[in-house]
Structure 1
Amino acid sequence: MKKIIVLIFILFVGGASAYYFSSSSDTLPLTLYGNVDQRQVHLAFIDSERVKDVYVQEGDKVSSGQLLAKQETRRLEDQIRIQEEKLKSSRIQLQKMLNGSRPEEIKKAEAELEIAVAQQVLAQKDFDRIRKLWTQSKGQAVSRQILDEAEQSLNSAKSKVKGAENSLALAVKGPRAEDIDQQRAVVGSNENELQLLSNKLKDAELRSPSDSTVTRRLLEPGDMANSQKTAFSLTVNDPLWVRAFINEVEMSKVALGDKAEIITDAYPDNPIIGSVSFISSAPEFTPKSVETEDLRTSLVYEIRFSVKGNHPELKLGMPVTVRFLSVHQ
């Protein structure tokens, strides 16, 4: 009888223990393992030129738009001054064409026409007199050469009159529309060239694209910089997230927006709160850098946790433990 009682007691204790641990395992928080991930930016100058000044050191916190480094700009500034003078000259020429002829120029053209007409009248009288003498004397009083020279002088005087008339007409009408359009194109080309040089002057200054931390400084004053050579590597401070992986069974227990504690080995008693911001729809094999309790050949899904605020204790690539505050059944 005693043996039966002991056996019943052992079975009761074992069943109670199994029930307790099985029920408690269902209430244990879901735990994942991952790494801190941050966006990195590799900055380089656009044009090839010597570095003049570098204003930040590795580890410095920089804000969006802050000047990090600057190239030599002496030759570029000389080119800008030359181009500004070319643009000024082309604009003056265009304005001159738009204004048309000045009244003094028109009066000058009129006076030149009057002189040409007077010379034509005089040449006409000389020719008529010489031709009359030549006709009456039948070539005895004047020679044929003198008559031809008089006729040539008359024709020349007529041509001068026609030229003076055309000059007056041009002075009254002003420049042709095609010439004005061509000069406008010259002005536009000079403006574009000046804008290009101004943009190059701006590109000679390397500025931070966002609030970041300088992780690497790769150029020093005196170095030659170009678009193929990285000047700085920056780590973006915000957004900051943790990348982890979850298997298919556990994925049904989480949803976007779920809160979780992010725990680091350095600060195990100071968890950081994050929320699920991304769940991948495509499975993959567990990366070797991720520690989980499942086999590494198991298919898992990438999941990301967004972390708000400034947390300098979270370093790029740092391994972390993610413990959900609650799960969906």
Structure 2
Amino acid sequence: MTDQTKDASQTQPSSGQIPPRKSGKLWLIIGCILVICAGFGGFRLWHYFEHKNDLPPHIEGSNGRLEMTRFDVAAKYAGRITDLSFHEGDVVQTGQILAHQDDSELRAQRDAAQANFEQAQESVRRAEAEQAAAHASTGLAAQQLMHTKQMVAQSLVSDMELQNSQTAYTTRKLSEEASQHNVAAAKEAVKAASAQIAGLDANLAEMTIRAPTSGQIEYRIAEKGSVLGQGGRLASLLDPSDIYLTVFFESAVAGKLHVGDEARIKLDAMNDRLVPAQISFVSPEAQFTPKFVETKTEREKLVYRVKLRIMPDTVHRLGGVLKAGMTGIGYVRTEPSAQWPSLKSDRG
């Protein structure tokens, strides 16, 4: 009796265990699910790589980033920054004041130049007075000489008197000519002092640093109190009206492109439209693809740099949507009759 009970207990599955037949079915189901998932995932991956580069005939695409023309805001002369009136991201206009430099030394030089100018003007007035006196003296000497000649003709005075009158006239005449030279020299000194003042005024104006063009501040490089050397950079400024995408194509494509040809740009942030552009530059020299290109294989290729410029009217129409650094794909045509990819084109 005990042996039968023991045998029976051994044939019964313990609580919580799955019978072998049911366990096999479960693993079969799980395996089928994994196979289906793997197959579906593989199909999607194959489909992605098979069709991601599908483009109409004679259309070529290349990855790139939007760039804007950059200007350096720099100090023309060395000096300490006394104040700044801008921050990164600010939109500024041409000629807008961005900063001031310490100009105390230049102002002292300007004050000294002003004093020299006034002194030179006084010298002109004094020289002109001396010239007038010399001219009057010469006139008297000329009259005396004429009178002496008349008296000599009448034998009223000796020839010695005539010689003395002639010498006096000559001396007065030379003195008058010297005074004329003094007046001219004094006037030249006034001009030089005036030019020095104008130069210092121009230098003082340069101590007020202004925006060279309208645009947006990209980086603020210096701070209040910083000492900039001659030509030292204060900030970098982006021109939002001059935007382009730099792309790279192999020789077979680049050789068929011309400056002025139409192009299209699809930005990752605007994936439902193509932005019209124009080829503005095709490099005449081949280079290795830059490091920011995703794969090493791509970087090992010799390619030509091409710029696709977005026209200012398109930039204006998009209303500030475009920003430097935005990634996208630039499309070009190797045949003028080729059709662009079937995305919405942003032409207004």
TM-score between both structures, scaled by the size of structure 2: 0.62
Residue type at the aligned position of 1:94: V
State the percentage of identical aligned residues.
20
CA distance in 1, matches of 2:263, 2:296: 19
The alpha carbon displacement at 1:294 in A equals 7.0
Unaligned residue ranges in structure 2 (runs of 5+): 1-50, 145-163, 339-348
* Structure with the larger RCO, 1 or 2 (CA within 8 Å, 6+ apart): 1
Residue type at the aligned position of 1:241: Y
Aligned residue in 2 for 1:322: 330
Compared CA separation, residues 294 and 250, structure 1 to 2 (3 A): farther
Compared CA separation, residues 263 and 100, structure 1 to 2 (3 A): same
CA distance in 2, matches of 1:193, 1:46: 18
Aligned residue in 2 for 1:53: 83
Aligned residue in 1 for 2:24: none
Task: Map residues 1-329 of structure 1 onto 2, 5 A cutoff.
Answer: 27=57, 29-98=59-128, 100-102=130-132, 106=136, 165=168, 169=172, 173=176, 175-227=178-230, 229-291=232-294, 295-309=298-312, 310=315, 312-324=320-332, 327-328=335-336
In the alignment of these two chains, the number of paired residues is 258
Equivalent pair of 1:48/1:226 in contact (CA under 8 Å): yes
The alpha carbon displacement at 1:166 in A equals 8.2
Equivalent pair of 1:33/1:291 in contact (CA under 8 Å): no
CA distance in 2, matches of 1:50, 1:26: 59
Unaligned residue ranges in structure 1 (runs of 5+): 1-20, 115-160
- SS of match in other structure, 1:68: strand
Residue type at the aligned position of 1:254: L
CA distance in 2, matches of 1:240, 1:290: 20
Compared CA separation, residues 219 and 178, structure 1 to 2 (3 A): same
Aligned residue in 2 for 1:145: none
The alpha carbon displacement at 1:306 in A equals 1.0
Compared CA separation, residues 275 and 201, structure 1 to 2 (3 A): same
CA distance in 1, matches of 2:197, 2:81: 23
The alpha carbon displacement at 1:69 in A equals 0.8
Residue type at the aligned position of 2:260: G
- After superposition, the C-alpha distances for 1:120-169 in whole angstroms (9 at most, x for unaligned) are xxxxxxxxxxxxxxxxxxxxxxxxxxxxxxxxxxxxxxxxx99x958981
The alpha carbon displacement at 1:224 in A equals 2.9
Equivalent pair of 2:263/2:331 in contact (CA under 8 Å): yes
Residue type at the aligned position of 2:118: K
Provide runs of 4+ in structure 1 moved above 6 Å. none
- SS of match in other structure, 1:231: strand
